[in-house]
Chains A and B, each alone.
Chain A
Amino acid sequence: MEFLSYLISGISLGSIYAIIALGYTMVYGIAKMLNFAHGDVIMVGGYISFCVVTYLGLPGWLSVVVAMLVCTALGILIEGLAYKPLRQAPSLAVLITAIGVSYFLQNSALLIWGASPKVYTPIVSGQIEMFGGSLKISWVTVVTVVICFIIAVGLTSFISKSRMGKAMRACSEDKGAAQLMGINVNRTISTTFAIGSALAAVAGVLLCSFSPSLMPTTGSMPGIKAFTAAVFGGIGSIPGAFLGGILLGIIESLAKAYISTQLSNAILFAVLIIVLLVRPAGLLGKYVPEKV
Protein backbone atom coordinates (compact mmCIF):
# COMPACT_ATOMS: atom_id res chain seq x y z
CA MET A 1 0.00 0.00 0.00
CA GLU A 2 2.92 2.28 0.77
CA PHE A 3 4.41 1.50 -2.62
CA LEU A 4 1.10 2.33 -4.29
CA SER A 5 0.96 5.70 -2.63
CA TYR A 6 4.54 6.51 -3.70
CA LEU A 7 3.71 5.38 -7.21
CA ILE A 8 0.64 7.60 -7.35
CA SER A 9 2.52 10.61 -6.08
CA GLY A 10 5.24 9.85 -8.64
CA ILE A 11 2.67 9.79 -11.44
CA SER A 12 1.21 13.10 -10.40
CA LEU A 13 4.62 14.73 -10.01
CA GLY A 14 5.48 13.25 -13.39
CA SER A 15 2.29 14.70 -14.86
CA ILE A 16 3.56 18.16 -13.98
CA TYR A 17 6.94 17.41 -15.53
CA ALA A 18 5.13 16.16 -18.61
CA ILE A 19 3.09 19.35 -18.97
CA ILE A 20 6.28 21.41 -18.69
CA ALA A 21 8.22 19.07 -20.97
CA LEU A 22 5.63 19.66 -23.71
CA GLY A 23 6.68 23.30 -23.88
CA TYR A 24 10.31 22.33 -24.37
CA THR A 25 9.61 19.62 -26.87
CA MET A 26 7.15 21.57 -29.03
CA VAL A 27 9.43 24.59 -29.22
CA TYR A 28 12.40 22.38 -29.97
CA GLY A 29 10.47 20.45 -32.60
CA ILE A 30 9.34 23.54 -34.45
CA ALA A 31 11.82 26.33 -33.73
CA LYS A 32 14.79 23.95 -33.25
CA MET A 33 15.85 25.78 -30.11
CA LEU A 34 16.08 25.06 -26.41
CA ASN A 35 14.05 27.66 -24.60
CA PHE A 36 15.79 27.67 -21.24
CA ALA A 37 13.51 30.43 -20.03
CA HIS A 38 10.55 28.03 -20.14
CA GLY A 39 11.00 27.04 -16.47
CA ASP A 40 10.76 30.65 -15.41
CA VAL A 41 7.46 31.11 -17.22
CA ILE A 42 6.15 28.47 -14.77
CA MET A 43 7.25 30.66 -11.89
CA VAL A 44 5.54 33.71 -13.42
CA GLY A 45 2.37 31.63 -13.80
CA GLY A 46 2.55 30.73 -10.10
CA TYR A 47 2.98 34.36 -9.01
CA ILE A 48 0.16 35.60 -11.24
CA SER A 49 -2.19 33.00 -9.84
CA PHE A 50 -1.03 33.89 -6.31
CA CYS A 51 -1.65 37.61 -6.90
CA VAL A 52 -5.08 37.11 -8.43
CA VAL A 53 -6.22 35.06 -5.43
CA THR A 54 -4.48 37.09 -2.72
CA TYR A 55 -4.85 40.68 -3.90
CA LEU A 56 -7.96 40.52 -6.06
CA GLY A 57 -9.75 37.90 -3.97
CA LEU A 58 -10.89 35.98 -7.03
CA PRO A 59 -11.45 32.20 -7.00
CA GLY A 60 -8.59 29.79 -7.71
CA TRP A 61 -9.91 28.52 -11.06
CA LEU A 62 -10.17 32.07 -12.36
CA SER A 63 -6.58 32.70 -11.30
CA VAL A 64 -5.52 29.79 -13.50
CA VAL A 65 -7.23 31.38 -16.49
CA VAL A 66 -5.59 34.74 -15.80
CA ALA A 67 -2.18 33.08 -15.32
CA MET A 68 -2.61 31.26 -18.64
CA LEU A 69 -3.49 34.48 -20.46
CA VAL A 70 -0.57 36.39 -18.95
CA CYS A 71 1.91 33.58 -19.67
CA THR A 72 0.64 33.19 -23.24
CA ALA A 73 1.27 36.89 -23.82
CA LEU A 74 4.65 36.59 -22.09
CA GLY A 75 5.64 33.63 -24.27
CA ILE A 76 4.70 35.46 -27.46
CA LEU A 77 6.56 38.56 -26.24
CA ILE A 78 9.72 36.62 -25.35
CA GLU A 79 9.73 34.88 -28.72
CA GLY A 80 9.10 38.06 -30.66
CA LEU A 81 11.61 40.25 -28.83
CA ALA A 82 14.40 37.85 -27.94
CA TYR A 83 14.36 34.90 -30.33
CA LYS A 84 12.80 36.07 -33.58
CA PRO A 85 15.63 38.52 -34.40
CA LEU A 86 18.01 35.56 -34.06
CA ARG A 87 16.27 33.27 -36.57
CA GLN A 88 19.34 33.14 -38.79
CA ALA A 89 21.87 33.29 -35.93
CA PRO A 90 24.01 30.34 -34.79
CA SER A 91 22.24 28.13 -32.26
CA LEU A 92 24.76 29.00 -29.57
CA ALA A 93 23.71 32.67 -29.75
CA VAL A 94 20.07 31.60 -29.31
CA LEU A 95 20.94 29.37 -26.36
CA ILE A 96 22.83 32.16 -24.58
CA THR A 97 19.92 34.52 -25.22
CA ALA A 98 17.53 31.98 -23.69
CA ILE A 99 19.70 31.80 -20.57
CA GLY A 100 19.68 35.59 -20.50
CA VAL A 101 15.88 35.66 -20.71
CA SER A 102 15.74 33.15 -17.85
CA TYR A 103 17.82 35.43 -15.60
CA PHE A 104 15.81 38.42 -16.70
CA LEU A 105 12.56 36.77 -15.64
CA GLN A 106 13.98 35.59 -12.30
CA ASN A 107 15.37 39.00 -11.46
CA SER A 108 12.23 40.78 -12.55
CA ALA A 109 10.29 38.52 -10.20
CA LEU A 110 12.77 39.33 -7.45
CA LEU A 111 12.21 43.03 -8.04
CA ILE A 112 8.42 42.75 -8.14
CA TRP A 113 7.69 40.13 -5.50
CA GLY A 114 10.83 40.16 -3.33
CA ALA A 115 13.10 37.37 -2.20
CA SER A 116 11.04 35.97 0.67
CA PRO A 117 8.83 33.03 -0.28
CA LYS A 118 5.11 33.62 -0.75
CA VAL A 119 2.76 31.04 0.68
CA TYR A 120 0.54 29.77 -2.11
CA THR A 121 -2.92 28.47 -1.33
CA PRO A 122 -3.51 25.27 -3.28
CA ILE A 123 -6.34 25.59 -5.81
CA VAL A 124 -7.92 22.42 -4.45
CA SER A 125 -7.54 20.92 -1.00
CA GLY A 126 -8.56 17.82 0.91
CA GLN A 127 -7.99 14.16 0.15
CA ILE A 128 -9.78 10.94 -0.60
CA GLU A 129 -9.27 7.92 1.61
CA MET A 130 -9.39 4.43 0.21
CA PHE A 131 -9.01 0.91 1.59
CA GLY A 132 -10.32 2.01 4.97
CA GLY A 133 -7.94 4.94 5.22
CA SER A 134 -4.74 3.08 4.47
CA LEU A 135 -4.38 4.84 1.10
CA LYS A 136 -4.78 8.61 1.06
CA ILE A 137 -4.79 10.51 -2.21
CA SER A 138 -4.97 14.29 -2.20
CA TRP A 139 -7.36 15.99 -4.57
CA VAL A 140 -4.45 17.95 -6.01
CA THR A 141 -2.95 14.66 -7.14
CA VAL A 142 -6.17 13.57 -8.82
CA VAL A 143 -6.70 16.94 -10.47
CA THR A 144 -3.11 17.00 -11.74
CA VAL A 145 -3.32 13.59 -13.37
CA VAL A 146 -6.71 14.37 -14.91
CA ILE A 147 -5.49 17.69 -16.31
CA CYS A 148 -2.40 16.02 -17.74
CA PHE A 149 -4.59 13.41 -19.41
CA ILE A 150 -6.89 16.04 -20.89
CA ILE A 151 -3.90 17.98 -22.22
CA ALA A 152 -2.43 14.79 -23.70
CA VAL A 153 -5.60 13.95 -25.59
CA GLY A 154 -6.34 17.54 -26.61
CA LEU A 155 -2.86 18.37 -27.80
CA THR A 156 -2.39 15.13 -29.69
CA SER A 157 -5.59 15.62 -31.65
CA PHE A 158 -4.78 19.30 -32.21
CA ILE A 159 -1.41 18.41 -33.71
CA SER A 160 -2.69 15.55 -35.82
CA LYS A 161 -6.01 16.98 -37.02
CA SER A 162 -6.14 20.76 -36.99
CA ARG A 163 -4.92 23.02 -39.76
CA MET A 164 -2.51 24.82 -37.44
CA GLY A 165 -1.29 21.51 -36.00
CA LYS A 166 -0.48 20.21 -39.46
CA ALA A 167 1.25 23.47 -40.32
CA MET A 168 3.34 23.02 -37.17
CA ARG A 169 4.42 19.56 -38.29
CA ALA A 170 5.24 20.90 -41.74
CA CYS A 171 7.37 23.69 -40.21
CA SER A 172 9.11 21.21 -37.98
CA GLU A 173 10.17 19.18 -41.02
CA ASP A 174 11.11 21.88 -43.51
CA LYS A 175 10.55 25.61 -42.97
CA GLY A 176 11.42 26.53 -46.55
CA ALA A 177 8.97 24.07 -48.01
CA ALA A 178 6.35 25.18 -45.47
CA GLN A 179 6.69 28.76 -46.72
CA LEU A 180 6.25 27.53 -50.28
CA MET A 181 2.88 26.15 -49.14
CA GLY A 182 1.87 29.61 -47.97
CA ILE A 183 2.42 28.87 -44.28
CA ASN A 184 3.44 31.87 -42.20
CA VAL A 185 6.34 30.27 -40.33
CA ASN A 186 6.78 33.16 -37.88
CA ARG A 187 3.16 32.95 -36.84
CA THR A 188 3.41 29.19 -36.43
CA ILE A 189 6.45 29.52 -34.16
CA SER A 190 4.74 32.22 -32.18
CA THR A 191 1.66 30.00 -31.72
CA THR A 192 3.92 27.22 -30.48
CA PHE A 193 5.37 29.51 -27.83
CA ALA A 194 1.86 30.62 -26.89
CA ILE A 195 0.70 27.04 -26.33
CA GLY A 196 3.86 26.05 -24.44
CA SER A 197 3.59 29.08 -22.17
CA ALA A 198 -0.10 28.56 -21.45
CA LEU A 199 0.76 25.00 -20.41
CA ALA A 200 3.61 26.36 -18.28
CA ALA A 201 1.08 28.49 -16.39
CA VAL A 202 -1.03 25.41 -15.69
CA ALA A 203 2.09 23.59 -14.54
CA GLY A 204 3.02 26.54 -12.31
CA VAL A 205 -0.33 26.46 -10.54
CA LEU A 206 -0.19 22.69 -10.03
CA LEU A 207 3.41 22.83 -8.85
CA CYS A 208 2.63 25.51 -6.29
CA SER A 209 -0.36 23.51 -5.12
CA PHE A 210 2.02 20.66 -4.27
CA SER A 211 4.78 22.70 -2.68
CA PRO A 212 3.21 26.00 -1.67
CA SER A 213 6.36 28.05 -1.21
CA LEU A 214 6.76 30.41 -4.16
CA MET A 215 10.10 32.09 -4.94
CA PRO A 216 11.72 33.67 -8.03
CA THR A 217 13.74 30.47 -8.47
CA THR A 218 10.73 28.17 -8.09
CA GLY A 219 10.67 27.33 -11.78
CA SER A 220 14.35 26.49 -12.23
CA MET A 221 14.64 22.97 -10.89
CA PRO A 222 11.29 21.68 -12.23
CA GLY A 223 12.24 23.34 -15.52
CA ILE A 224 15.52 21.48 -15.70
CA LYS A 225 13.89 18.20 -14.71
CA ALA A 226 11.14 18.64 -17.29
CA PHE A 227 13.76 19.41 -19.91
CA THR A 228 15.45 16.17 -18.85
CA ALA A 229 12.10 14.43 -19.22
CA ALA A 230 11.72 15.82 -22.74
CA VAL A 231 15.17 14.54 -23.70
CA PHE A 232 14.48 11.24 -21.93
CA GLY A 233 11.30 10.71 -23.96
CA GLY A 234 12.88 11.97 -27.18
CA ILE A 235 13.07 15.73 -27.69
CA GLY A 236 10.63 16.89 -30.35
CA SER A 237 8.22 14.02 -29.65
CA ILE A 238 4.95 14.87 -27.93
CA PRO A 239 4.16 11.33 -26.71
CA GLY A 240 7.81 11.21 -25.63
CA ALA A 241 7.32 14.25 -23.41
CA PHE A 242 4.40 12.55 -21.64
CA LEU A 243 6.21 9.25 -21.24
CA GLY A 244 9.47 10.89 -20.17
CA GLY A 245 7.73 13.20 -17.69
CA ILE A 246 5.72 10.49 -16.01
CA LEU A 247 8.62 8.04 -15.84
CA LEU A 248 10.84 10.73 -14.38
CA GLY A 249 8.23 11.55 -11.75
CA ILE A 250 7.92 7.90 -10.77
CA ILE A 251 11.68 7.40 -10.59
CA GLU A 252 12.06 10.51 -8.45
CA SER A 253 9.28 9.55 -6.09
CA LEU A 254 10.48 5.97 -5.63
CA ALA A 255 14.11 7.03 -5.28
CA LYS A 256 13.11 9.50 -2.56
CA ALA A 257 11.07 6.88 -0.76
CA TYR A 258 13.35 3.88 -0.93
CA ILE A 259 16.89 5.14 -1.53
CA SER A 260 17.59 8.65 -0.38
CA THR A 261 15.95 12.04 -0.53
CA GLN A 262 19.28 13.78 -0.97
CA LEU A 263 20.38 11.45 -3.74
CA SER A 264 17.10 11.42 -5.67
CA ASN A 265 18.19 14.04 -8.20
CA ALA A 266 21.55 12.33 -8.73
CA ILE A 267 19.72 9.05 -9.38
CA LEU A 268 17.36 10.79 -11.77
CA PHE A 269 20.13 12.21 -13.90
CA ALA A 270 22.09 8.95 -13.76
CA VAL A 271 19.08 7.17 -15.27
CA LEU A 272 18.91 9.81 -17.97
CA ILE A 273 22.57 9.35 -18.84
CA ILE A 274 22.18 5.58 -19.06
CA VAL A 275 19.08 5.84 -21.26
CA LEU A 276 20.81 8.27 -23.58
CA LEU A 277 23.84 6.00 -23.86
CA VAL A 278 21.60 3.18 -24.99
CA ARG A 279 19.14 5.27 -27.01
CA PRO A 280 20.75 8.57 -28.04
CA ALA A 281 17.47 9.91 -29.40
CA GLY A 282 15.54 9.17 -26.20
CA LEU A 283 12.77 6.63 -25.68
CA LEU A 284 10.44 7.68 -28.49
CA GLY A 285 12.67 10.03 -30.45
CA LYS A 286 13.74 9.31 -33.98
CA TYR A 287 17.47 9.40 -34.49
CA VAL A 288 18.02 11.81 -37.36
CA PRO A 289 21.67 12.35 -38.29
CA GLU A 290 22.55 16.02 -38.65
CA LYS A 291 22.41 17.06 -42.28
CA VAL A 292 25.79 18.13 -43.61
Chain B
Amino acid sequence: MSEILKVDSINVYYGAIHAIKDVSFSVHEGEIVTLIGANGAGKSTILQTVSGLLRSKTGVVRFCDEDISHTAAYKIVEKGLAQVPEGRRIFLQMTVEENLEMGAYTQAPSGVDADLAMVYEQFPRLKERRRQIAGTLSGGEQQMLAMGRALMSHPRLLMLDEPSMGLAPILVEQIFEIIRDMHKKGTTILLVEQNAQMALSVADRAYVLETGSIILSGTGAELAASDSVRKAYLGG
Protein backbone atom coordinates (compact mmCIF):
# COMPACT_ATOMS: atom_id res chain seq x y z
CA MET B 1 0.00 0.00 0.00
CA SER B 2 1.37 3.40 -0.94
CA GLU B 3 1.54 6.35 1.41
CA ILE B 4 -1.10 8.87 0.44
CA LEU B 5 -0.29 11.30 3.25
CA LYS B 6 3.01 11.67 5.03
CA VAL B 7 3.44 14.24 7.76
CA ASP B 8 7.07 14.63 8.75
CA SER B 9 8.06 16.38 12.01
CA ILE B 10 5.79 19.40 11.77
CA ASN B 11 5.84 22.19 14.37
CA VAL B 12 2.90 24.56 14.50
CA TYR B 13 2.68 27.71 16.59
CA TYR B 14 -0.10 30.08 17.57
CA GLY B 15 2.05 33.15 18.22
CA ALA B 16 4.29 32.03 21.06
CA ILE B 17 2.24 28.91 21.83
CA HIS B 18 3.94 25.79 20.52
CA ALA B 19 0.79 23.79 19.72
CA ILE B 20 2.22 20.90 17.65
CA LYS B 21 5.64 19.49 18.52
CA ASP B 22 7.55 17.39 16.01
CA VAL B 23 4.54 15.37 14.91
CA SER B 24 5.02 12.68 12.25
CA PHE B 25 2.49 10.18 10.97
CA SER B 26 1.28 8.68 7.75
CA VAL B 27 -1.86 7.38 6.07
CA HIS B 28 -1.77 4.65 3.44
CA GLU B 29 -4.12 4.31 0.50
CA GLY B 30 -7.31 2.54 1.56
CA GLU B 31 -6.84 2.90 5.31
CA ILE B 32 -8.88 4.44 8.06
CA VAL B 33 -6.42 6.12 10.39
CA THR B 34 -7.52 7.85 13.54
CA LEU B 35 -5.91 10.52 15.66
CA ILE B 36 -7.27 10.48 19.18
CA GLY B 37 -6.58 12.76 22.10
CA ALA B 38 -8.18 14.92 24.74
CA ASN B 39 -9.67 18.33 24.09
CA GLY B 40 -6.84 20.76 23.33
CA ALA B 41 -4.31 18.08 22.41
CA GLY B 42 -3.83 19.60 18.95
CA LYS B 43 -5.91 17.35 16.71
CA SER B 44 -7.67 20.13 14.81
CA THR B 45 -4.44 22.08 14.49
CA ILE B 46 -2.87 19.09 12.72
CA LEU B 47 -5.77 18.70 10.27
CA GLN B 48 -5.77 22.41 9.50
CA THR B 49 -2.04 22.28 8.86
CA VAL B 50 -2.49 19.39 6.44
CA SER B 51 -5.26 21.20 4.58
CA GLY B 52 -3.22 24.41 4.37
CA LEU B 53 -5.30 26.67 6.61
CA LEU B 54 -2.41 26.76 9.08
CA ARG B 55 1.30 26.55 8.33
CA SER B 56 3.98 24.47 9.93
CA LYS B 57 7.16 26.30 10.85
CA THR B 58 9.36 23.31 10.08
CA GLY B 59 8.82 19.86 8.64
CA VAL B 60 7.00 18.67 5.55
CA VAL B 61 3.48 17.59 4.61
CA ARG B 62 3.44 15.31 1.58
CA PHE B 63 0.25 14.32 -0.22
CA CYS B 64 0.53 11.71 -3.00
CA ASP B 65 4.31 12.19 -2.96
CA GLU B 66 4.07 15.92 -3.46
CA ASP B 67 5.22 18.51 -0.92
CA ILE B 68 2.13 20.58 -0.10
CA SER B 69 3.59 22.39 2.92
CA HIS B 70 3.45 25.71 1.07
CA THR B 71 0.54 25.10 -1.29
CA ALA B 72 -2.51 27.38 -0.96
CA ALA B 73 -5.40 25.70 0.83
CA TYR B 74 -7.76 25.99 -2.14
CA LYS B 75 -5.22 24.29 -4.42
CA ILE B 76 -4.79 21.40 -2.01
CA VAL B 77 -8.50 20.63 -2.44
CA GLU B 78 -7.96 20.33 -6.19
CA LYS B 79 -5.31 17.69 -5.54
CA GLY B 80 -7.91 15.45 -3.88
CA LEU B 81 -7.75 16.23 -0.19
CA ALA B 82 -11.02 17.19 1.51
CA GLN B 83 -11.65 18.15 5.10
CA VAL B 84 -14.86 18.11 7.11
CA PRO B 85 -13.91 20.72 9.67
CA GLU B 86 -14.66 20.72 13.37
CA GLY B 87 -18.09 22.16 14.06
CA ARG B 88 -19.10 21.29 10.44
CA ARG B 89 -18.87 24.86 9.19
CA ILE B 90 -21.52 24.41 6.56
CA PHE B 91 -22.77 27.61 4.94
CA LEU B 92 -25.76 28.27 7.17
CA GLN B 93 -27.43 30.88 4.98
CA MET B 94 -27.19 28.86 1.80
CA THR B 95 -29.49 26.01 0.81
CA VAL B 96 -28.54 22.36 1.25
CA GLU B 97 -28.03 21.97 -2.48
CA GLU B 98 -25.94 25.13 -2.73
CA ASN B 99 -23.72 23.80 0.04
CA LEU B 100 -23.21 20.62 -1.95
CA GLU B 101 -22.48 22.65 -5.08
CA MET B 102 -19.79 24.52 -3.16
CA GLY B 103 -18.29 21.14 -2.35
CA ALA B 104 -18.02 20.54 -6.09
CA TYR B 105 -16.33 23.88 -6.72
CA THR B 106 -13.15 22.23 -8.00
CA GLN B 107 -15.05 19.84 -10.29
CA ALA B 108 -16.16 20.30 -13.88
CA PRO B 109 -19.70 21.76 -13.81
CA SER B 110 -20.90 19.05 -16.21
CA GLY B 111 -20.44 16.32 -13.58
CA VAL B 112 -22.14 18.10 -10.71
CA ASP B 113 -25.60 16.67 -11.30
CA ALA B 114 -24.34 13.09 -11.21
CA ASP B 115 -22.40 13.83 -8.03
CA LEU B 116 -25.47 15.38 -6.42
CA ALA B 117 -27.39 12.21 -7.24
CA MET B 118 -24.61 10.13 -5.68
CA VAL B 119 -24.64 12.15 -2.44
CA TYR B 120 -28.45 12.15 -2.29
CA GLU B 121 -28.43 8.39 -2.66
CA GLN B 122 -26.09 8.11 0.30
CA PHE B 123 -27.96 10.74 2.34
CA PRO B 124 -31.66 10.58 1.42
CA ARG B 125 -32.45 13.11 4.17
CA LEU B 126 -30.45 15.74 2.31
CA LYS B 127 -32.46 15.12 -0.83
CA GLU B 128 -35.70 15.76 1.02
CA ARG B 129 -34.27 19.00 2.27
CA ARG B 130 -32.35 20.14 -0.76
CA ARG B 131 -34.08 23.53 -1.03
CA GLN B 132 -34.00 24.20 2.70
CA ILE B 133 -31.63 26.78 4.23
CA ALA B 134 -28.82 24.79 5.84
CA GLY B 135 -29.06 26.71 9.13
CA THR B 136 -32.46 25.15 9.74
CA LEU B 137 -31.17 21.56 9.66
CA SER B 138 -30.76 19.51 12.83
CA GLY B 139 -27.27 18.75 14.15
CA GLY B 140 -27.15 15.29 12.63
CA GLU B 141 -28.39 16.54 9.26
CA GLN B 142 -25.79 19.31 9.34
CA GLN B 143 -23.07 16.72 9.90
CA MET B 144 -24.37 14.67 6.98
CA LEU B 145 -24.39 17.79 4.84
CA ALA B 146 -20.79 18.55 5.82
CA MET B 147 -19.77 15.00 4.88
CA GLY B 148 -21.76 15.02 1.65
CA ARG B 149 -20.27 18.38 0.76
CA ALA B 150 -16.75 16.98 1.17
CA LEU B 151 -17.59 13.93 -0.97
CA MET B 152 -18.64 16.20 -3.84
CA SER B 153 -14.96 16.88 -4.57
CA HIS B 154 -14.18 13.15 -5.04
CA PRO B 155 -11.43 13.21 -2.44
CA ARG B 156 -8.62 10.65 -2.44
CA LEU B 157 -8.25 11.40 1.24
CA LEU B 158 -11.08 12.57 3.47
CA MET B 159 -10.23 14.13 6.82
CA LEU B 160 -12.99 14.23 9.41
CA ASP B 161 -12.66 16.39 12.52
CA GLU B 162 -14.85 15.10 15.35
CA PRO B 163 -17.87 14.13 13.25
CA SER B 164 -19.62 12.78 16.35
CA MET B 165 -19.33 16.00 18.32
CA GLY B 166 -22.56 17.13 19.94
CA LEU B 167 -24.66 14.30 18.48
CA ALA B 168 -26.98 11.92 20.30
CA PRO B 169 -25.61 8.33 20.65
CA ILE B 170 -27.93 6.95 17.98
CA LEU B 171 -26.74 9.57 15.52
CA VAL B 172 -23.12 8.84 16.43
CA GLU B 173 -23.74 5.21 15.44
CA GLN B 174 -25.23 6.38 12.20
CA ILE B 175 -22.33 8.71 11.39
CA PHE B 176 -19.82 5.90 12.00
CA GLU B 177 -21.90 3.62 9.83
CA ILE B 178 -21.56 6.18 7.05
CA ILE B 179 -17.80 6.43 7.64
CA ARG B 180 -17.47 2.65 7.25
CA ASP B 181 -19.58 2.81 4.14
CA MET B 182 -17.52 5.59 2.55
CA HIS B 183 -14.40 3.60 3.33
CA LYS B 184 -15.86 0.49 1.73
CA LYS B 185 -16.52 2.51 -1.40
CA GLY B 186 -12.82 3.28 -1.61
CA THR B 187 -12.21 6.55 0.23
CA THR B 188 -9.13 6.75 2.44
CA ILE B 189 -10.00 8.35 5.76
CA LEU B 190 -8.15 10.28 8.45
CA LEU B 191 -10.46 10.53 11.42
CA VAL B 192 -9.95 12.82 14.42
CA GLU B 193 -12.01 11.98 17.47
CA GLN B 194 -12.40 12.54 21.19
CA ASN B 195 -14.74 9.57 21.15
CA ALA B 196 -11.80 7.15 21.28
CA GLN B 197 -13.90 4.01 21.62
CA MET B 198 -15.85 4.54 18.43
CA ALA B 199 -12.81 5.77 16.55
CA LEU B 200 -10.64 2.79 17.53
CA SER B 201 -13.41 0.39 16.56
CA VAL B 202 -13.39 1.53 12.92
CA ALA B 203 -9.70 2.34 12.54
CA ASP B 204 -6.99 0.23 10.89
CA ARG B 205 -4.34 2.23 12.69
CA ALA B 206 -4.36 4.92 15.35
CA TYR B 207 -2.15 7.60 16.88
CA VAL B 208 -2.58 9.04 20.36
CA LEU B 209 -1.88 12.72 20.73
CA GLU B 210 -1.13 14.43 24.03
CA THR B 211 -0.35 18.16 24.37
CA GLY B 212 0.92 18.44 20.84
CA SER B 213 3.01 15.26 20.65
CA ILE B 214 2.26 11.74 19.46
CA ILE B 215 2.82 9.45 22.44
CA LEU B 216 1.54 6.13 21.10
CA SER B 217 0.67 4.45 17.86
CA GLY B 218 -0.49 1.05 16.69
CA THR B 219 -3.40 -0.79 15.14
CA GLY B 220 -6.85 0.12 16.33
CA ALA B 221 -7.16 -3.17 18.19
CA GLU B 222 -3.76 -2.81 19.85
CA LEU B 223 -4.51 0.61 21.20
CA ALA B 224 -7.99 -0.34 22.33
CA ALA B 225 -6.36 -3.09 24.38
CA SER B 226 -3.52 -0.94 25.73
CA ASP B 227 -3.69 -0.12 29.43
CA SER B 228 -2.67 3.51 29.20
CA VAL B 229 -5.18 4.22 26.45
CA ARG B 230 -7.93 2.47 28.37
CA LYS B 231 -7.18 4.53 31.47
CA ALA B 232 -6.84 7.85 29.74
CA TYR B 233 -9.44 7.66 26.97
CA LEU B 234 -11.77 4.74 27.40
CA GLY B 235 -12.80 5.31 31.01
CA GLY B 236 -10.80 2.47 32.57
Contacts and interface: CB of A to CB of B under 8 A. Distances in A.
B153 A166 contact: no
A183 B74 contact: yes
A129 interface: no
Nearest to A167: B105
A173 B82 contact: no
Interface string A172-184: 0110111111111
B77 A181 contact: yes
A174 B146 CA distance: 14
- Give chain B's interface residue range (CB within 8 Å of chain A): 20 to 34
B91 interface: yes
B149 interface: yes
B23 to A, nearest CB: 21
A169 interface: yes
A163 B98 CA distance: 10
Interface string A148-189: 000000000000000100110110011011111111110000
Given A166-B102, A169-B93, A183-B102, A177 B85 contact: yes
B94 A181 contact: no
Given A167-B105, A176-B53, A184 B98 contact: no
A180 B98 contact: no
B83 interface: yes
Interface in B100-158: 101-103, 105-106, 109, 149, 153
A180 B85 contact: yes
Given A166-B102, A170-B94, A182-B153, A177 B89 contact: yes
B52 interface: yes
Given A166-B101, A167-B105, A170-B102, A180 B77 contact: yes
Given A180-B83, A180-B89, A182-B153, 5 more contacts: A176-B53, A178-B102, A179-B77, A181-B149, A185-B74
18 contacts: A163-B105, A163-B109, A166-B94, A167-B105, A169-B91, A173-B94, A174-B91, A176-B85, A177-B91, A179-B52, A179-B73, A180-B73, A181-B74, A181-B77, A181-B103, A182-B78, A183-B102, A184-B72
B101 A174 contact: no
B51 interface: yes
Given A176-B89, A181-B105, A169 B73 contact: no
| Residue in B72, B74, B77 with the greatest tally of chain A CB atoms within 10 Å | B74
Interface in A115-168: 163, 166-167
Nearest to B94: A169
B91 A182 contact: no
A255 B92 CA distance: 41
